[in-house]
Amino acid sequence: MTTATATRGDERIAHVGLLRRQLVKPEFGALVGALVIFVFFWTQSSVFVSSAGVANWLDAASIPFGIMAVPVAMLMIGGHFDLSAGVQVATAGLATGIMTTYWGLNVYASLVVSLLLMLAIGFVNGYLVTRTGLPSFIITLGMFLGLQGVNIGATKQVTNKVTVDNLNLVPGYQFLKDVVGSTITIGGGQFPIAILWWVLFTAIGSWVLLKTRFGNWTFATGGDPNASKNVGVPTNRTTIALFMITSAMAWFVGNTLILRSGSLQAQFGVGTELIFIVAAVIGGCLLTGGYGSVIGASVGALIFGMTQQGIVYAGWDSDWFKLFVGVMLLLAVLANQFVRRYAEQSRR
């Protein structure tokens, strides 16, 4: 990431070099960082680049981090956080699990109800943020704590355990598991299909952000909500939609997790919301909104996955993992700050 700060010429030079054009892209730092980390762990362990090794760190990167980093990055570009994104993943999976295994509801119907529930949660987050004008940090912190309580409380009440299981005994399970939870064997490595979903969602998210009106509104809402309102951007609707997209993705991820193994812990997700944000920030999203990239956020998640598994392959004590994440986060924030100054530099 330090190479991103290397050379800068006179801004008045009309011809913009390829390096400089890449340099101002938000995902540039993350791509360089990912490359460095990849090469680094490659030199540390040959298993890291074996088929099984790659499958392993791609899996760690894709679910829940990679897929959730996509909407979390969009939300952050739109100027907001969702601290409840992690526990929402669990809420979605637990809801489906309880409805099917304990209440005997059809699995498809359960998925629909669970989706509606998640959209409602996203709407409440977005509505409260736009309505009260309070920081999304506080609103979603409340949602985070609340859902954490609901996840454990409701699960215990219904199942008398802190986990929902036996989803694999429900009719229709196998087909759904194939859709989201199967694996593809390439060269001895078992690649979960979630990786493909991750790539797909990253592509869609990036397309929406860069090529649609909604994407333009997202950048504008995060960049300057007042100015956006003055030119007719529906900033409140955009914000609420972004929160609902986050919750919808939590629905996908939560249900993928419970469909993959047939069970889900009620405490799942606590703490992951911060990793989603870390991935987005490493990927070049500004905490203050208005700038960032979905591809960058996915690369951020990739860095996370590679580091998490790479440490194990390198034979190090994995207790040190979070130190790496912390250092990378700080480096990323410093790089972002530089980019922002560069982008906002006035030529008065």
Stretch that binds another protein, among 34-42, 83-91, 216-224, 265-273 (CB under 8 A): 216-224
**Can you say how many angstroms the Cα of residue 93 is from the centroid of all Cα atoms in its chain?**
17
Min dist CB 27 to another protein, Å, is 15
Specify the residue, 87 or 335, whose C-beta has the smaller distance to another protein.
335
Min dist CB 26 to another protein, Å, is 10
Q: Residues in contact with another protein, total (CB under 8 A)? A: 32
Stretch that binds another protein, among 27-35, 157-165, 177-185, 208-216 (CB under 8 A): 208-216
Q: Which of 47, 113, 138, 224 binds another protein (CB under 8 A)?
A: 224
Site for another protein contains 11 (CB under 8 A): yes
- Alpha-carbon separation of residue 115 from 126, 253, 313 (angstroms): 16, 11, 38
Q: Annotate each residue in 82-101 with x if it binds another protein (CB under 8 A) or - if it does not, as one string.
A: --------------------
Check the CA dihedral 143-298-334-21 and report its sign: negative
Site for another protein contains 8 (CB under 8 A): no
Min dist CB 178 to another protein, Å, is 25
Residue 99 CA to residue 109 CA, distance in Å, equals 9
Other C-beta atoms closer than 10 Å to the C-beta of 16 total 12
Q: Which residues of 74-92 are buried (b: 16+ CB within 10 A; e: fewer)?
A: bbbbbbbbbbbbbbbbbbb
Answer for the pair 21, 27: CB distance below 8 angstroms, yes or no.
no
Q: Which of 179, 200, 227, 330 binds another protein (CB under 8 A)?
A: 227
Q: Please name the residue ranges forming H helices in the chain.
A: 18-23, 28-44, 51-61, 67-77, 85-97, 107-132, 136-159, 173-181, 194-211, 213-223, 225-230, 235-261, 272-282, 294-313, 321-344
> What is the DSSP annotation of 167-180?
GGGSTTHHHHHHHH
- Could you give the maximum distance between any two Cα atoms of the chain, in Å? 69
Site for another protein contains 317 (CB under 8 A): no
Q: Which of 133, 171, 188, 232 binds another protein (CB under 8 A)?
A: 232
Site for another protein contains 226 (CB under 8 A): yes
Site for another protein contains 16 (CB under 8 A): yes
Q: Which of 122, 104, 125, 71 shows the shortest CA–CA distance to 301? A: 71
Stretch that binds another protein, among 6-14, 140-148, 186-194, 259-267 (CB under 8 A): 6-14
Site for another protein contains 20 (CB under 8 A): no
Contact set with another protein (CB under 8 A): 11-12, 14, 16, 207, 211-213, 215-217, 219-220, 223-224, 226-228, 230-233, 286, 290-291, 340, 343-348
